[in-house]
Amino acid sequence: MTRIVVIDLHGQFTHLERRALRDIGVDTEIVSADTPADELDADGIVLSGGPDMDRVGNAPDYLDLDVPVFGICLGMQLIALERGGTVGGGDYGGYADVDVEIVDDEDPLVGSLAPETRVWASHADEVKELPAGFTHTATSDVCGIEAMSNVEAGLYGVQWHPEVAHTERGEEVFENFVTICESA
């Protein structure tokens, strides 16, 4: 059975990320971000959302493990910063329903959602510039980079929250990540 751990970056929806994975038959648990990288035993890692970069613990070290990593909101921003991208304040701010346009329908994480899907997202902070080697995979009217992927490195991120009921087809995103982990 595929095992995917959810790294707790202190977001309010972390438990829903674990539940979404459990509901699709994945062996999963929530793990503290203070866990040393060499103690993680998983086929994949989800970096949860969270309030700020000051509480990410050892999460940057997890990007160098030989397993796929899926960053959600703050998790995506962490991946971008650690790989040389930039993050800044969003023009829109708080949580809202957003229509996201998938700009890469070949992307293994979000391509199946093309051409458009409705999501629940926070844009207090967002990725402003992609790191080298990443592909811009989704956009919206309120955020230029709603999703990104580096398939070769096994690093993926979305600005929105696929784990909440307000997001259409959120379960599909998790199923796609499981497929990525099983293929790695």
| CB-based contact 9:47 (threshold 8 Å) | yes
Question: What residues contact 70, with CB distance under 8 A and at least 6 apart?
Answer: 44, 45, 46, 47, 109, 156, 157, 158, 177, 180
| Tally of CA atoms within 13 A in the half-sphere of 100 that contains its CB | 36
Residues 142 and 79: their CA atoms lie apart, in Å, by 21
Which entry of 17, 82, 161, 181 is annotated as an active-site residue?
161
161 is catalytic: yes
Which entry of 17, 73, 123, 126 is annotated as an active-site residue?
73
Which entry of 17, 82, 126, 163 is annotated as an active-site residue?
163
Question: What residues contact 71, with CB distance under 8 A and at least 6 apart?
Answer: 46, 47, 77, 78, 79, 155, 156, 157, 158
| CB-based contact 101:140 (threshold 8 Å) | yes
Residues 76 and 82: their CA atoms lie apart, in Å, by 10
Q: Which residues are catalytic?
A: 73, 161, 163
